[in-house]
Each structure stands twice: as C-alpha cells, then as structure tokens.
Structure 1
Amino acid sequence: MPRPAKVPTPPPAGYLWTPEAARRIGRSVKTLWNYAHLGKGPQPVRIGRKLAYRISELDEFLQSEINGQPNEDRAHESRPPEPRVSRRPARAAA
C-alpha cells in the first residue's frame, strides 16, 4: 500500500523556512547557510530540525542592501590594490 504524501509543516507566524526566505531576498539556500555560518545577514532560528527566518529581519536585510549602507564589520575586509608590475624586461635607453 502506498504511503500518504507528507504535508509540509507550515512555519510559525512571522517566519519563513529557508527555501522561501532565500526566494524572498533573491539569494540561494546555500548563500543563506553561509551567512548563518559566518554570522552575517539575517540570522535563522532553529525550530525542530529546520531553520526559520524572521520575515522582519529578511526585510531589514533587503532594505540595508538596497540603501547601500556600509557595514562597519566589512570596513577592513579588502586591502588596497597593489601596484601593477610589468612582466616585460626593461628596454635599454638608446
């Protein structure tokens, strides 16, 4: 006898499961997992064995991305460009 199809459990009010959260902010599920691991972006809440994202945090994250507000934590992530070094040998002056 076939097993009945599982009905997905709806998230609590005000939350979205990871796939829906990723669609809402236009990122992949893997990117959300990376954000959670690195401690940046919207932070998930563990509910049972699943991760849920608060809708208000997702909207705040989107607004900060749209407004382009600098993140003080990322201020020192990049380093200045290094001078370009030519690979050609220098010509002798004629």
Structure 2
Amino acid sequence: MPRPAKIPTPPPPGYVWIEEAVRRTGLSKNTLYNYRYLGKGPECVPIGRKLAYSIAGLDAFMRDLLNPAADPEALADSRPPEPRLAA
C-alpha cells in the first residue's frame, strides 16, 4: 500500500522555508547554504531538518546587496590620484 502524501508544515509566522527564500532572492539553494556556512547571508533558523528565513531578514539582505554602504575604512585608505606625466 502506498504511503499517504505528507502535508507540508507551514513555516512559523514571519518566516519562509528555504525554497521560498530562493524564489525571493533569486539565489540558488546552494548559494544560500554557502552564505549560511560563511556567516554572510540572511539570518536563518533551523527548525527540525529545515531552514526558516525571516522575511524581514531577507528584505534587509536584498536591500544591502543592492545598495551597499560605503566602507569608511576603505575610503580613508584611498590614495589621491597620481599626477600625469608630461609626454
């Protein structure tokens, strides 16, 4: 006898599963896994064997990805342009 189809568990309020995070960000599932491993992606919470991503966290991550803030240290370390040599 075949097993009955499992009803998918809904994510907690304000969260989405990784499949929806992939759709919202346009990044692959492997990229999100790698970002989680490197600690540089959107925040996620493991729930059982699944990853739940905060909708607000995904929105903030995409906003930062599309509009990066200037790095104050990088601006301070920049050199002025060198003068051109006369030919």
| Shorter-chain TM-score range | 0.7 to 0.9
| 1: CA distance, partners of 2:58 / 2:42 | 6
Which residue of structure 2 lines up, in the alignment, with residue 48 of structure 1? Answer: 48
Q: CA deviation at 1:69?
A: 2.3
Give the greater-gyration-radius structure (CA): 1
Structure 1 stretches of 5 or more lacking a match? Answer: 76-94
Q: How does 1:1-94 map to 2 (within 5 A)?
A: 1-70=1-70
TM (normalized to structure 2)? 0.75
Amino acid at match of 1:10: P
4+ aligned runs moved over 4 Å, structure 1? none
Structure 2 stretches of 5 or more lacking a match? Answer: 75-87
Higher helix share: 2
What is the root-mean-square deviation in Å for CA atoms of aligned residues?
1.7
How many residues align? The count is 73
Which residue of structure 2 lines up, in the alignment, with residue 88 of structure 1? Answer: none
| 2: CA distance, partners of 1:30 / 1:57 | 18
| 2: CA distance, partners of 1:71 / 1:14 | 31
1:34-82 C-alpha deviation (Å, 9 max, x unpaired): 000000020210111111100000000111112132468xx6xxxxxxx
Question: For the structure 1 residues 35 and 70, does the alpha-carbon distance in structure 2 shift closer, same or farther, using more than 3 Å as the test?
Answer: farther
TM (normalized to structure 1)? 0.70
